[in-house]
Amino acid sequence: MKSLTLLAPAKINLALDIVGTREDGYHLLETVFQSVSIYDKITLTLTEESGIALTCNEPEIPCNEKNLVWKAAAAFLKETGLTCGVRIHLEKHIPSQAGMGGGSSDAASVLMGLNELTGKPLHPEDLCRLGVMLGADVPFFVYGGTAYAEGIGEKLTPLPAIPKLTLVVAKGSGGISTPEAYRAIDALENPEHPHTQELKAAILRGALSEELWQYCGNLFEAVTKLQDVADIRSVMYDMGAAFACMSGSGAAVFGVFADENAALRCQQTLAERYPFSEICYTV
């Protein structure tokens, strides 16, 4: 039996704005995605018997057809017409309800891993097409790195790699419901929008990291009701962060540090107060 183990990276949103709504109710966004070095680990094993078997180290994660990992495997097998089965073990490290794309990254890794194990019957564009049916940001994780996204997140423009950054990422015990966050966005009147287009232009011209922060931001911060988000951000700034912001619709907050020692002190301080606190890097 063929097996393959992959690392599925998390993401942060350096900028995230909502710019409209489609007729079907989906929100139109502009964002700059960035992969970071916090990973879930996925082990795929092809089996002679058909069917999908999923296990996970976290007991609260559903190991059935409701899981995006399961859905990704089923979509791949249906698309390729393969009759083999697959056994999947998911080792979670990316926090849930964090705005870090853990489920989407896991789904993308399953698509790419199964494609590798079965002799690459699908092109990356095919994997993205399958991915967007699972989640709007799944196609980003097929490529990773730094990218500008628009539409519902599926229209990607790869961007040059930004300078390597040292980050502290932390999350409290609460999560944020994405549908509720979008409803709150809809109720805003004359919100202050982040400068996503300016950030994209700065990255394209190779701006230094110090210039990038003036364009970063997240519209969802205007509607979050979690006190942990504000408190974590405040701690990060107090301990030397050059910039701190919520990722996605929340509830994780990332802080950018020029000094590794300051990042370590901040991470340790936050770890004493919150269930998730890690140092990571842009990748």
Residues annotated as part of the active site: 11, 137
**Gyration radius (Cα) of the chain, Å:** 19
Give me the phi and psi of 148, to 5 degrees please: -95, 135
Instruction: Give me the helices (H) in 136-252, please.
Output: 138-143, 178-186, 196-204, 209-212, 227-238
165 burial via Cβ count (<10 Å: 0-12, 13-18, 19+): buried
Beta strands, E only, the chain? 3-21, 27-47, 52-56, 85-91, 146-150, 155-158, 166-171, 217-218, 243-246, 253-257, 276-281
CA 86 from chain centre, in angstroms, equals 25
Vertex 278: Cα angle to 61 and 276 (nearest 5)? 45
Question: Parallel, antiparallel, or unpaired for β 27-47 and 276-281?
Answer: unpaired
Q: Which residues pair with 109 in a beta bridge?
A: none
The token duo for 5 is 């183990």
* CA-based nearest residue to 140, from 259, 43, 9: 9
Give me the phi and psi of 21, to 5 degrees please: -135, 135
Cα–Cα dist 99/15, whole Å? 12
The H-or-E segment that residue 108 falls in is helix 102-117
Give me the phi and psi of 84, to 5 degrees please: -75, 170
